[in-house]
């Protein structure tokens, strides 16, 4: 396995492991009991909407080499299954697209300004790794194009952009304060900038930052603004640690654990690669062979794209 394959597989499996092993810890009692019954597939750990939508992004990139929005909208809609635990607005929206509505109108039909949920950001690590060697502006644009199909709200799109950029920086082996500095050099909206500046302050200080403080200051909710910077902070502080430590921290932060762990796990995997992911978790993930072949294909497509052989 070459470095590019290792990093692409690392991104995809880091995301899927975070999702599948975070999901049983998400939400309140009812959600946990429900996931106890449907979170198992033939003895394997099932992933949720986070991984399903990421698979759809990979499929469209493998076919077109860029974000072909109409194709991606159809894939999101036809893959929708309630049992993957989609957000309630996303579920309604995807049913409308499946019923024939144009995504350009459907994406503002549930919430007038579009969704600010973290569903656009949870699939953004794929964009960050695939476009890792492109410019910051290109990475941000691609992430927003991918997000806007379901998340037209500025906060939903900006969350996707910063997750994609963080993944791209991790892919290029930027770490810690250098990574956060690179992120802050972009034209990021004030709401996210304030939280990222707090992250920078924490990294510069000798303060002990526990899960409760992360939860209180950065958030742990289903809105992109309450989860994207949380995932970035956890990823940046665990890039040189074991993947299981990252997962433990996500579980301690509580709330939207599958999505925070999927985003942080994808970023971690882009830096550390597939080979550093824990085998005992990889062996238990649902549809591992399918994810592997999709990811290998994605890695090959990057090679073709870089060598300008894309037809
Ligand atoms: N759905 C789940 N988990 C179930 C947890 C339910 C939870 N207790 C709750 O608070 O709802 N997980 C999956 O959903 C998340 C991704 O969601 P996505 O794709 O962003 O969905 P949606 O429906 O677009 O947005 C989520 C909710 O955010 C609120 N919201 C969004 N935009 C809004 C707006 N403009 N105005 C008002 N509210 C808005 C709504 O409550 C949406 O339902 C991931 O965690 C994934 O794992
Ligand atoms: Mg989910
Ligand atoms: Mg979630």
Residue 274 lies in a domain: yes
Question: CATH number for the domain including 141?
Answer: 1.10.4080.10
Give the C-alpha separation, 144 to 248, whole Å.
30
| CB of residue 226 inside a 6 A radius of ligand 1 | no
pLDDT at 34: 78
pLDDT at 33: 78
| Residue range of the domain that includes 235 | 3-304
Residue 286 lies in a domain: yes
Domain count, the chain: 1
Burial (CB < 10 A; 0-12, 13-18, 19+), residue 24, is middle
What are the helix (H) ranges across 172-210?
176-184, 190-204
pLDDT digits (tens, 9 = 90+) for 64-122: 999 999 999 999 999 999 999 999 999 999 999 999 999 999 999 999 999 999 999 99
The more confidently predicted of residues 62 and 305 is 62
- How distant, in Å, are the alpha carbons of 38, 59, 131, 143, 147 from that of 72? 26, 8, 17, 13, 10
Mean pLDDT of 222-250: 98
Residue 309 lies in a domain: no
- How distant, in Å, are the alpha carbons of 26, 40, 44, 52, 193 from that of 218? 17, 31, 32, 26, 12
pLDDT at 27: 77
Residue 188 lies in a domain: yes
What is the Cα 220 distance to its own chain's centre?
Answer: 15
Measure 89 CA to ligand 1 centroid, in angstroms: 6
pLDDT digits (tens, 9 = 90+) for 140-152: 999 999 999 999 9
Mean pLDDT of 262-279: 98
The token pair at 297 is 């294909």
Give the C-alpha separation, 15 to 242, whole Å.
15
Residue 51 lies in a domain: yes
Mean pLDDT of 12-35: 89
| CB of residue 118 inside a 6 A radius of ligand 1 | yes
pLDDT at 311: 47
pLDDT digits (tens, 9 = 90+) for 159-208: 999 999 999 999 999 999 999 999 999 999 999 999 999 999 999 998 88
Residue 311 lies in a domain: no
Contacts of 224 (CB under 8 A, 6+ apart): 116, 117, 118, 120, 121, 151, 155, 156, 158, 159, 160
Contact 179, 166 (CB under 8 A): yes
| CB of residue 176 inside a 6 A radius of ligand 1 | no
Measure 83 CA to ligand 3 centroid, in angstroms: 13
The token pair at 122 is 């949870």
pLDDT at 41: 66
Residue 148 lies in a domain: yes
Contact 149, 290 (CB under 8 A): no
Percent of the chain with pLDDT strictly greater than 70 = 98
Residue with CA at minimum distance from ligand 1 atom 17: 87
CA-based nearest residue to 141, from 177, 110, 187 = 187
pLDDT digits (tens, 9 = 90+) for 25-70: 987 777 777 777 777 766 889 999 999 999 999 999 999 999 999 9
């Amino acid at each position: 396995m070459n470095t590019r394959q290792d990093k692409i597989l690392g991104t995809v499996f880091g995301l899927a492991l975070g999702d599948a092993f975070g999901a049983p810890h998400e939400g309140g009692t009812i959600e946990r009991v429900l996931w106890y019954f449907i979170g198992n597939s033939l003895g394997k750990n099932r992933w949720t909407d986070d991984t399903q939508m990421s698979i759809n992004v990979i499929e469209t990139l493998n076919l077109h080499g860029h974000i072909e929005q109409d194709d991606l909208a159809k894939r999101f809609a036809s893959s929708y299954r309630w049992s993957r635990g989609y957000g309630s607005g996303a579920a309604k929206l995807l049913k409308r697209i499946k019923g024939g509505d144009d995504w350009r109108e459907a994406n503002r039909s549930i919430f007038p300004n579009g969704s600010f949920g973290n569903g656009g950001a949870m699939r953004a690590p794929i964009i960050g790794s695939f476009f890792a060697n492109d410019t910051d502006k290109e990475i941000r644009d691609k992430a927003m194009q991918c997000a806007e199909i379901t998340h037209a709200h500025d906060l939903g799109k900006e969350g996707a952009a910063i997750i994609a950029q963080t993944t791209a920086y991790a892919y290029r082996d930027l770490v810690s304060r250098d990574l956060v500095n690179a992120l802050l050099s972009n034209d990021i909206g004030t709401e996210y900038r304030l939280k990222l500046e707090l992250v920078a302050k924490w990294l510069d200080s000798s303060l002990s930052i526990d899960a409760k403080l992360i939860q209180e200051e950065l958030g742990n909710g289903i809105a992109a603004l309450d989860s994207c910077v949380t995932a970035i902070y956890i990823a940046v502080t665990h890039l040189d640690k074991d993947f299981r430590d990252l997962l433990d921290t996500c579980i301690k932060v509580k709330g939207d654990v599958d999505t925070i762990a999927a985003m942080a796990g994808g970023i971690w995997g882009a830096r550390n690669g597939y080979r550093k992911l824990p085998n005992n978790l990889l062996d238990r993930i649902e549809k591992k062979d399918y994810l592997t072949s999709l990811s290998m294909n994605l890695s090959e497509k990057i090679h073709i794209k870089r060598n300008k052989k894309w037809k």
